Structure 1
Amino acid sequence: MTQEGSIEDLHRAVRDHYDKLVDLYEDLWGEHIHHGYWDLHAPQTPRHAAQQRTTRELTAFGGVPHGARVLDSGCGIGASAVMLAAETGCTVEGITLSHEQVRRATEKAAEAGVADRTSFRVMDAMHTDYPDDTFDVVWSLESCELMPDKRAYLAENLRILKPGGRLVVATWVSRDDRLDPSEVKLLRRLYRDFAVSHVLPLDHYAQACAELGYTGVTTADWTDHVRGTWALSADIVKPLMRDPSYVWKLVRAKGADIFRFLNSVPLMKQAYDRDVMRYGVFTAVKPG
């Protein structure tokens, strides 16, 4: 169920993927390049509002304190960091492997007027240079799936959290670890196309956190609230794929791999429809 290659290979794949596609992600998905959260009785909520809702729901689920010092681990182009700074008064430091994401996140924070409470830099989230006991919160919104060594990632976050600090994670997860060969094949295609290392069942994360010494581990499955993301994304991509001039423009700018990336959107919808891919959140506390 894991992607092949060394950690260096996987890091290079992530860096190249986001450096190359940062503007396309923003054009297609908006500044919040993550899942949206919908009430089950209100599926018509606009996608951008649903994506903002995900950040707010995760803030509430994780109990992020007002004014906390936060590490946004895998910060993307900074949309969640900007919201945390603007809406909860947090000071947020964002890290990512992508130089282009750092550039765009820095621009967006300045545009939003929160440059004094945010900063962004390139760093490996599994091996940071922060001292022990630095952060009140480590925030990880759809970046844990990119980490080649999940246990090392959780351990590093435990190290840099202050006693009593909180780890807050939303991540792609698999239904379980008893997938049939066709389901594993589907996951491995998604790993390749989205530069993902591998996904785990949600209960594996809870077990790993407990074994590492976290307390207060709480999990929730948000799959039903977020699955509409991929129906909407497929609707966005379909007309683009039918426009040869647009596709060839992308190929000239981004390379032939763009075909694989665009075709991965219906594959992700299929993974949700087949209950292979799910969406989990968890929070855990460093003992005081």
Structure 2
Amino acid sequence: MAAATLSPARPAAVSTSGVDSTLHRSSIRPTLPRLFQHRASSLRAQSLSSTDSAKALSNDTFSELNEGIAHFYDSSSGVWEDIWGEHMHHGYYDPGLPLQAAFSVNHGDAQVRMIEESLKWAEIPEVDSRPQRIIDVGCGIGGSSRHLARKYGAEVIGITLSPRQAQRATSITSAAGLSSKVSFQVADALNQPFPDSHFDFVWSMESGEHMPDKQKFMAELVRVTRPGGRILIVTWCHRELLAGEESLKPNEEELLKRICDAYYLPAWCPASKYTSLAHSMGLQDVKSDDWTQYITLFWPAVILSAFSFRGISGLFKSGWTTIKGALAMYYMVKGYNSGLIKFALITARKPILES
């Protein structure tokens, strides 16, 4: 799945709360040690001429991009799990609390809450007509897959491009006694090895941003969904263009390219791209929402823990790919705070065929 590289420590407190959306650059920057401030500056300069920009990546072959994504998560997943645990995605926080809440919040609980709130928003049934066969597209090390299996008693298949993630997900699932319900495999979300109409619920938590061809991505999700089944996509998007705009501003494009360079992302899109595709493919009950206000505490917390002693130690053990991702976390904060980056949810239902 397409989450961040590094991670915040898991404090003992159990509250789930948020950070004021007015958090500014000055409140994050001092948390970076001087050495890493220097490296971040070097990364910014490098990214301006990098051939790994969003445009360049989108023109690469899918196989080259897939190899980069697999390497990224092979390198970083161990560090993430060591500090954050099994869930490799944003947490859901009540908006309005100060940055200091990052020290006391139980971020693991917030990540589970993100799953639950997303399911509630998408109106996934819990009793009658609850999903029995689910695919987790971009499964990471299987945190969502296991949660969905427990919640619904469903059969869940998780797919990832990372062999290490698939192996680790399988190991954790076996230890949890869920191997009869949950399985994992290395597979491409744009070319899934499943028959048509195979799943009654398609779950994609923060993997859509890695997809170089959004139309093909949506088409595959629709193909493997049974008639009457539902699709839920939670993903990073850029803001909608304003009236009269034909593109993002140059400084916005530059910021996104820096993030793409670190996290192996192709070109970004607005949430309306997904809803437009959903409508064009004949899906019903299409809706989307912007949940940016509920996740603003996440990246500041990631930064705080990444540059702790434990975090720095894990970074150096993981290598430059993971370090580069950690240095780019500041850009995610800047993107969210400026309104450029949006945390989007999109859901739709595949219509039942008329007899």
Give the TM-score band, short-chain normalised.
Answer: over 0.9
Counterpart CA distance in 1 for 2:131 and 2:196 is 20
Structure 2: state its 5+ residue gaps.
1-53, 242-246
- Correspondence for 2:79: 24
1:187 aligns with 2:242: no
TM-score of the superposed pair, with normalisation by structure 2: 0.75
Distance 1:122 1:191 in 2: 23
Q: Does residue 11 of structure 1 match 2:66?
A: yes
Residue 55 of structure 1: aligned partner: 115
What is the deviation of 1:42? 6.2
TM-score (norm 1): 0.92
Question: 1:193-239, CA deviations, whole angstroms, 9 ceiling, x for partnerless residues?
Answer: 11222321111111111012211101111000012101111111233
The 2-side partners of 1:254 and 1:23 are apart by 8
Q: More relative contact order in 1 or in 2 (CA 8 Å, sep 6+)? A: 2
Which of 99, 107, 111 aligns to 2:163? It is 99
Instruction: State the partner residue of 1:211.
Output: 280
The superposition leaves residues 82-117 of structure 1 with CA deviations (integer Å, 9 ceiling, x where unpaired) of 100112212110011111110111112122222211
Alpha-carbon distance in structure 1 between the residues aligned to 2:135 and 2:112 = 19
Contact 1:175 1:276 in 2 (8 A): yes
Partner residue in 2 for 1:287 = 351
Q: Establish whether residue 113 from structure 1 lines up as the match of residue 185 from structure 2.
A: no
The amino acid that maps onto 1:194 is Y
The match for 1:223 is 292
Partner SS, residue 134 of structure 2: strand
- Which residue number in structure 2 is paired with residue 154 of structure 1? 218
Quote the offset at 1:2 in angstroms.
4.1
| CA drift at 1:29 | 3.1
Equivalent residue number for residue 256 of structure 1 = 320
Matched, 1:278 2:342: yes
Q: Would the aligned equivalents of 2:140 and 2:169 in 1 still touch at CA under 8 Å?
A: yes
More strand by share: 1
Shift of 1:3: 4.9
Instruction: Give identity over the alignment, percent.
Output: 33
Partner residue of 1:37?
92
Partner of 2:5: none
In structure 1, stretches of 5+ residues that fail to align are none
Distance of 1:234 and 1:91 partners within structure 2: 36
Instruction: Flag the structure with larger Rg.
Output: 2
Map residues 84-95 of structure 1 onto 2, 5 A cutoff: 84-95=148-159
CA RMSD of aligned residues (A): 1.9
Cα distance in 2 between the residues matched to 1:39 and 1:257: 32
- d(CA) in 2 for partners of 1:185, 1:54: 29
- Is the Cα contact below 8 Å between 1:3 and 1:188 reproduced in 2? no
Q: Shift in Å at residue 256 of structure 1? A: 2.8
Q: CA deviation at 1:241?
A: 9.5
The one-letter code matched in structure 2 to 1:185 is: E
